[in-house]
Structure 1
Amino acid sequence: MKQKIYQALENVFILENKKNIIESGIVKKIDVLKDEIRIHISLYNPTMHIKKKLKKDILKSIKYKNLDTKKICLKIEIKLRRNTDQKISGIKNILAVASGKGGVGKSTIATNIAVSLVKMGFHVGLLDADIYGPSIPLMFNIEEDKIHSSILKKKNNSYVMNPITSYGVKIISLGFFSKSGEAVVWRGPMATKALRQFIHDTDWGPLDFLIVDLPPGTGDIHLSILQDIPLKGIIIVSTPQKISLSDVHRSVAMFRIRSIQVPILGIIENMSFLLENKTKEKQYFFGKNGVKNFSKKMNIFFLGEIPMLQEIREYSDLGVPVVLENDQIRKIFEKITKNIINKLS
């Protein structure tokens, strides 16, 4: 029976490498028990549509081979395989800034953490992985007329991407390759392919830190990052209200899946409070201690809180990292950045 099942599975193919699932090595074991068949499968990309298609194709192939499976329960166990041994030459630490929800200021925080690290004397890169909404070029005031042919350079008989340096940070973003206001209408596979090129076909040079600004959600791009690069840790960003924390909870759950297991270094509460101009009293517009309470519940280190200040919005719109212009915010980000470094060690 087991040999017939193996033969049936030779007719099931994975589109990524155009090999059948036996040739590709993703079938790890087949158990033929009294009342069930268990097929153990290990995949790099266990997205829902791939799992459903795989199960459908396996059942169809077994049925086509006329195997008697009427009273047999078929179980397919799918686990994510991470390339934890893969390293990017010259980069010591790769950190991702993530949030389950958009609009929480994740890119602003990634920008100012990167610049804070530079001010501490580190060599830093910033990868804008938000394929559909790249905002890092705006955060660094990198205008279209500043992006010229030097973005591509020849190295070892092939072309690689050359990061644009702004405020001491080496930056790569899809925003460098698309016009302002132009919609990026790509399916998941095309977006992940572009991201892989940004990671592996960029001449980053020696870096102490590469900060990856992730898009919202828990989709293909996140899985590609987890598959392709050895992340040292995740920095979570949220605003205090429940609707943000609900989505952040899903992101935390993804990074804590047993087959993924990327360390969460800590969580930052952004837009934590407003300061009254006259009394300097804190006004908790989105609620008080929402992220701090969530961090205790989820056993995540609380990295710090960032207030709602008009200067943050103004300098971000100007394309100037606020840590270079506001001493209060600079000290807050210095403390948060030192907390991140301490958690790494």
Structure 2
Amino acid sequence: MEEKIKKVLAEIVHPETEKNIVEGGVVGGVSVNAEKITVTLHFAKSRDPFALKIKSQAETRLKEAFPDYTITVIVREGGTTPRPEPKQTTTTGGIAHVIAIASGKGGVGKSTVTANLAVALRNSGYRVGILDADIYGPSQPKMFGVEDYLPDAVREEGEDRIVPAESMDIELMSIGFFIKPTDALLWRGAMATNALKQLIHQTRWGTLDFLLIDLPPGTGDIHLSIINELKIDTAVIVSTPQQVAVVDVVRGIEMFRNEHVDIPVAGIIENMAWFTPEELPDKRYYLFGKGGARRYAEAAGVELLGEIPIVQSIMEGSDEGHPAVGIDPRVEQWYRVIAQRIVEKAVQNG
């Protein structure tokens, strides 16, 4: 029985080693009883980017081959022998401009703004990619309807490349493709930064006019790591009108202005600026206060790039995997103006 199980598993090939997982030593153990098959997969890397995909493939093939058994696949990661660090190569050479999208705190709609800006840039004829670096809550896979995407790898010029998802002609790579939602908050420090470095330098980005980076909220190690790995042309801060959110904007701007960082801030986007009911198109209700981000932008000497109101299509688009810029002309108009201002800043600083 064990040999039959291994024969099924031998049909699965690890994209990086190009060996089947039995021959490559990934299958670490197989146990069988009257009702259950348990397979242990052992990956040498502490965070193998293909572990989740291979686990899923193993479960599917075993269930098809042995339908009368309960299938359990256990993943163990981390080798006992340290490997020498490979010489760093990068796939970012074809990216013309990098824009960081940040927020001082969570819940201000940063990821929604990032997704809609990407579509607005694409509508203007630019080639666009998104790196979803928000390890605390990677949202871009849901924003673009590619939650089930499992990245594959290809061999190019002697190097392994991770193939990004593509949606609405936008190249998309997310930390969410490699971790379960329940694991996101467990990632800290070196574990998270090493994974993001791999995504930055091994993703097959191709030629892009703009790469947008959806950063985690706040300021911290993840931000500094990405800043050290990429030449960022400009940063955009997302806030809401509330004073408590505006206070956090100060921290975000000062991080980019720090002498050791020195990244120009294009300006602030005030999200959820007001609410207009469909039946009262001329009314504006300022649910979270009025003009907080504008006042701080003026005091800090940065530009208010634009105000985005609360619109039902923005919420629905995010939930359904279709950013609202692609389906609602009103939203497209607001974001088009903001995107044009950001392009000017990025090109000026690039």
TM-score (norm 2): 0.71
What is the match of residue 300 of structure 1?
Answer: 302
Instruction: Determine helix, strand or coil for the equivalent of 1:261.
Output: coil
Q: Which amino acid aligns with 1:111?
A: A
What is the match of residue 92 of structure 1?
Answer: 96
What is the match of residue 246 of structure 2?
Answer: 245
Which of 134, 137, 140 pairs up with 1:136?
140
Q: 2:184, 2:268 → 1: CA distance?
A: 31
How many Å apart are 1:132 and its aligned residue?
2.4
Mapped pair 1:234 → 2:232 = no
Contact in 2 for aligned 1:95/1:233 (Cα 8 Å): yes
Contact in 2 for aligned 1:87/1:229 (Cα 8 Å): no
User: Are the structure 2 counterparts of residues 184 and 285 from structure 1 closer, same or farther at C-alpha, using a change threshold of 3 Å?
Assistant: closer
How many Å apart are 1:184 and its aligned residue?
4.7
**Percent of pairs identical after alignment?**
44
Instruction: Determine helix, strand or coil for the equivalent of 1:272.
Output: strand
What is the match of residue 160 of structure 1?
Answer: 161
Q: 2:337, 2:184 → 1: CA distance?
A: 37
Q: 1:340, 1:278 → 2: CA distance?
A: 31
Q: 1:316, 1:87 → 2: CA distance?
A: 29
TM-score (norm 1): 0.72
Q: How does 1:212-227 map to 2 (within 5 A)?
A: 212-227=213-228
How many Å apart are 1:122 and its aligned residue?
0.8
Aligned length: 257
Instruction: Determine helix, strand or coil for the equivalent of 2:93.
Output: coil
What is the match of residue 25 of structure 2?
Answer: none
How many Å apart are 1:263 and its aligned residue?
0.2
Q: 1:143, 1:257 → 2: CA distance?
A: 36
What is the match of residue 186 of structure 2?
Answer: 185
Q: 1:91, 1:197 → 2: CA distance?
A: 16
Instruction: Determine helix, strand or coil for the equivalent of 2:210.
Output: strand
Q: How does 1:291-330 map to 2 (within 5 A)?
A: 291-330=293-332
What is the match of residue 110 of structure 1?
Answer: 114
What is the match of residue 3 of structure 1?
Answer: none
Contact in 2 for aligned 1:129/1:212 (Cα 8 Å): yes
Q: 1:279, 1:229 → 2: CA distance?
A: 43
Contact in 2 for aligned 1:151/1:164 (Cα 8 Å): no
Q: 1:336, 1:98 → 2: CA distance?
A: 15
Q: Which amino acid aligns with 2:103?
A: S
Contact in 2 for aligned 1:106/1:237 (Cα 8 Å): yes
Q: Which amino acid aligns with 1:282?
A: R
Instruction: Determine helix, strand or coil for the equivalent of 2:146.
Output: coil
Considering only aligned residues, what root-mean-square deviation do their CA atoms show, in Å? 1.6
Mapped pair 1:284 → 2:286 = yes
How many Å apart are 1:339 and its aligned residue?
1.1
How many Å apart are 1:228 and its aligned residue?
1.0
Q: Which amino acid aligns with 2:323?
A: P
Instruction: Determine helix, strand or coil for the equivalent of 1:306.
Output: strand
Contact in 2 for aligned 1:96/1:214 (Cα 8 Å): yes
Deviation digits for residues 220-272 of structure 1, max 9, x if unmatched?
A: 00000111110000011000001111111111111111221100011100000
What is the match of residue 207 of structure 1?
Answer: 208
Alignment gaps of 5+ in structure 1: 1-85
Contact in 2 for aligned 1:87/1:230 (Cα 8 Å): no
Alignment gaps of 5+ in structure 2: 1-89
Q: 2:97, 2:294 → 1: CA distance?
A: 26
Q: 1:158, 1:278 → 2: CA distance?
A: 57
Q: 2:223, 2:294 → 1: CA distance?
A: 25
Contact in 2 for aligned 1:127/1:212 (Cα 8 Å): yes
Instruction: Determine helix, strand or coil for the equivalent of 2:166.
Output: strand
Deviation digits for residues 293-314 of structure 1, max 9, x if unmatched?
A: 1100111111000001111111
Q: 1:230, 1:183 → 2: CA distance?
A: 26
